[in-house]
Amino acid sequence: MSERCISQECLNDTGFSYTLSLINGKYKMIILYTLMEFQVVRFNEMKKYIGSISYKTLSSTLKELEADQLVHREEYPQIPPKVEYSLTERGKSLMPLLDEMCDWGEKNRLLAMLTRNSPVCGLACAL
């Protein structure tokens, strides 16, 4: 087995880099997570759920995710206008990755809470 040499490789040529190009951004993972949890979500519901995102940022991020074929936008011809968002099959294929991140976060969040509350940590933090 030959060793890989970093000087002969390029990060941009990896699947990791491609995946990051699709999900990188302050709110993309949050939007994907929201759609994973609630399946079909209207624009204002998502805005309210996320809270800290502006209407403009939510709109542009959803358009990017739609252009990358991760999110489906369904517009209903009615007054007032009704628009719903859901994951495409391609978007759903990211769900195992998001599930693993959620599992990791839950385990490590609990460990961090226990560590912060331990007497040893309290002593170390006080020093």
What are the pLDDT digits (tens) for 14-62? Answer: 888 888 888 899 999 999 999 999 999 999 999 999 999 999 999 999 9
Residues 6 or more apart whose CB falls under 8 angstroms from that of 34 comprise 41, 46, 49, 50
Strands (E), the chain: 41-42, 71-76, 82-87
DSSP 3-state assignment of 125?
Answer: helix
In the chain, domain spans: 26-126
pLDDT band at 125 (very low <50, low <70, confident <90, very high): very low
Q: What is the second-level CATH architecture of the domain 26-126?
A: Orthogonal Bundle (1.10)
Confidence of residue 118 (pLDDT cuts 50, 70, 90): low
Q: Report helix, strand or coil for 5.
A: coil
